[in-house]
Structure 1
Amino acid sequence: LFFAFLSNYLIAHAAGDASAPLWFGAPAWRWMFWMEAVPAAVFLAGILLIPESPRYLVVSGRLDAARRIFTRLGGDANELVRQVEQSLHGEHRPRLADLIEAGTRRIAPVVWVGIGLAAFQQFVGINVIFYYGAVLWEAAGATKEHALQINLLTGFVNILATIPAILLIDRIGRKPLLVAGSVGMAVTLGLLAVVFALAAVGIDGKPVLSRGEAITGLIAANLYVVAFGVSWGPVMWVLLGEMFPNRLRGAALAVSGATNWVANFAVTLTFLPLLNGCGLAGAYGLYAGAALVSLLFVWFAVRETKGKTLEQMQDGATVDAV
């Protein structure tokens, strides 16, 4: 995201405006989209160089191909293939039926917890900041140039915020980080809602922020990104990888991942109508409310996984106090 923000800013700066023509007469905003093809091409080239998973090859019955991969990676290829075959004994391909509790027609509670985590990560509005950052700050009265600069700063802050998460996640645990992140996001989003609710309105209908309000809003927005980056950003994915029992891990991860993308799409799709209907104060207030609900959800529904093996998680996620 940071490099996308950086390329967008550099392209707009070179053209003088996002809608101004740049190379070959195409407007700068088109080049912003076309630049995305560069990392996509690099990613494609990298995929072509990655060997196939030996585990997948063993499952598919292509043992010779699996041995060749293990030989390239180092080690006794025959022994490694044998170990994979032993680990696969009694396993089956993930299926949605795995999500149903044995003897019932109910989805396992731990699956609902995973779905909730995946949904709340998006409902707090983080990708609105990333996707529509320039639109947000233009709506707050910033010029296009300044809006892109602020967006660039936000992306850099997000990178820095993940460092404390890496250092703290195994020290204080997953759940305390999520709780702290929810509190931080609720406070900063609430502050943003207040700033824009109290701001004057110009003749063009946009908020007119005083210097103090502008500084407060900028600090609150970046502290919000920090609160997300040290908690819900990385920790949600760590929890999803640890909380599900082995018998339903594959299916539960698939459903949770799909929920995250559906929630992302829903929040992104509804933001502009929300902005037009409720303004920035209403939008930020709604996301602050989601952050508060996420706090209650984590407090009452999420179980700490720090220091626990996958076998110890067989009972799933239940009510667990911080």
Structure 2
Amino acid sequence: MAEKVTVAAFCMQLICSLAISSLIALVGFVYAWPSYNIENFESNSTVLAWPLTTLEKSLIGSLTNIGALFMTPFCGFALHLFGRRYSAMLFGLPNVIGWLIICLTNYTPLIIVAIGITGFSAAGQVVSAVYITEIVQDSIRGMLTSSCVTMYFIGLLFSYILGGYLTYQQVLYVHLTVSCLYIAALGLLKESPVYLVQMGREEEAKRSIAFYRRVKDTSKEVEVEIKKIKLQLDPRIEEILQGETENPQEKELLDNNSQHAEEVPKITPWKFLKKSESSKKALAMALILMAANIMMGVIVLQVYAEPLFKEAVPSVHPNTCAILLAVDLMVASFICCLVVDKFGRKFLMTASSGATGLCTLLLALQLQLGFAPYWFTAFVIYAYCFVYNVGACTVPWIMGAEMFLPEVRGLCNSMVMACMWITNFMTLIIFNPMVDSFGLGPLFYLFTVICFSTAAYSHFCLVETKGLSVDQIQLLFLKKK
């Protein structure tokens, strides 16, 4: 039975989750900014020192991804060394530095370097997801963790709107101000209680739990949560969980374990991962979900969206299409936030992957055969983005953040993020030759196969983690044949 969440606790955890996930909104700023400025950057009347060359334009578009890939391996290290709160603040700092440089200069090489610096912040999505997972209650964990995805699209939309109504310099000042406010807001939050217990700071952990749940730090609820965290941090957790029985002695076993957990020698995350069967199975599932998520065609669609929209709805300005697409994505991810803890991860991932496969099949047929009017192409693109974001895009992020034990949470999430960046890179490398050889339409047949295969995998293999604590989730992997 999922634990009850009071209104005061829900409001506090919601506000704090939005503050933490604002880092991903800042990432949205970085990805949106070049798209509505590129026309100016290429013109002779550019605000830059000179019009962008083809190479410079490519660097502005790609250096964010390179910066994120470079920093991703350091996420697990930062989470363990600095804690969740200071790591989140640290990954917000490159945005401040990058936007400050862009505000102060129009020298093109410096602006390219600044864009690369802001890419370091994109790797911090791991930190945000882990931080939120560890401060919210299990029954609302899916909703609040998925805010990471929603905030990205809010950042995209906000930046697109700014680009349509403010001057170039005014947009930069807004981006810089919001980046500074993010770091200031995190200064008002408490550190993750999981990290505090891990570091032996139990009294601070009690105050942190009390802060996020709006109860006194001497309450029974705080004491129970501390014992749960100690169980999760115990290297012997798999042996303890596999020995659990449905009898009155269970509580005594767990209590005794919590009391003596600190006597067990600590081991490194890598050694813990090699020893833990449940963690290895969870990592394999998270990597499959993330790779499938990227290979459903979203990257290719982003690249070809503008020419497809120009052909389908030539009377609509490209920036308007981009704003409508951002609204579409944001609404879909918001709906996912509302329903993910009601319908569960498995159902959403299965249904969304199947619906996405249907959209890619229709788009493939339309591009190859042209069986419908041009406006139908735009309709299918919007439908694809909507159903993809309702589940297939968001669920891998949620499950990656909630499946792992605290000892390997940073390490495993860094590996999942690295998988995402590498799969992104490989997809972009191979799809141009494939388009040249087979055409864009047949390529979407391949995406259709991947979507339906992901739906089948989700239906038959995915574990349901809705409302479960992390130790209960480990049991799902330990019992799985």
Same fold (TM over 0.5): yes
**Aligned match for 1:123, one of 282, 295, 315:** 295
Whether the 8 Å contact between 1:274 and 1:283 is mirrored in structure 2 is yes
Deviation at 1:288, TM superposition (A): 1.7
Report the TM-score, using the length of structure 2 for normalisation.
Answer: 0.50
**Can you give the 5+ residue segments of structure 2 that lack an aligned partner in the other structure?**
1-24, 61-101, 103-110, 116-167, 234-260
**Can you give the 5+ residue segments of structure 1 that lack an aligned partner in the other structure?**
200-209
CA distance in 2, matches of 1:135, 1:96: 46
How do 1:1-322 residues align onto structure 2 when only pairs under 5 Å count? 11=37, 19-20=42-43, 21-23=45-47, 26-27=50-51, 39=175, 42-43=178-179, 46-47=182-183, 50-51=186-187, 53=191, 87=230, 90=262, 92=266, 95-101=269-275, 108-130=280-302, 132-137=304-309, 146-199=317-370, 212-245=372-405, 248-317=408-477
Whether the 8 Å contact between 2:328 and 2:386 is mirrored in structure 1 is yes
Figure out how many residues of one structure are paired with residues of the other and give that number.
Answer: 301
CA distance in 2, matches of 1:97, 1:144: 59
Higher mean C-alpha displacement, 149-158 vs 3-12: 3-12
Read off the aligned partner of 1:19 and give its amino acid letter: E
Alpha-carbon spacing, 1:268–1:84, altered in 2? closer, same or farther (3 Å)? farther
Read off the aligned partner of 1:114 and give its amino acid letter: A
Whether the 8 Å contact between 1:302 and 1:317 is mirrored in structure 2 is no
Report the TM-score, using the length of structure 1 for normalisation.
Answer: 0.71
CA distance in 2, matches of 1:11, 1:254: 32
When the two chains are superposed, the root-mean-square deviation of aligned CA atoms in Å is 4.5
SS of the counterpart of 2:342?
Answer: coil
Whether the 8 Å contact between 1:157 and 1:226 is mirrored in structure 2 is yes
Whether the 8 Å contact between 1:134 and 1:148 is mirrored in structure 2 is no
Give identity over the alignment, percent: 20
Read off the aligned partner of 1:119 and give its amino acid letter: A
Read off the aligned partner of 1:218 and give its amino acid letter: A
Alpha-carbon spacing, 1:133–1:188, altered in 2? closer, same or farther (3 Å)? same
SS of the counterpart of 1:23?
Answer: coil
Deviation at 1:152, TM superposition (A): 2.8
Deviation at 1:59, TM superposition (A): 6.3
Higher mean C-alpha displacement, 219-228 vs 261-270: 261-270
CA distance in 2, matches of 1:59, 1:247: 8
Deviation at 1:58, TM superposition (A): 7.9
SS of the counterpart of 1:311?
Answer: helix
Read off the aligned partner of 1:156 and give its amino acid letter: V
Alpha-carbon spacing, 1:132–1:64, altered in 2? closer, same or farther (3 Å)? farther
Deviation at 1:190, TM superposition (A): 0.7
Higher mean C-alpha displacement, 224-233 vs 272-281: 272-281
SS of the counterpart of 1:100?
Answer: helix
Q: Deviations over 1:186-206 (max 9, x none)?
A: 00011100001113xxxxxxx
Deviation at 1:287, TM superposition (A): 1.7
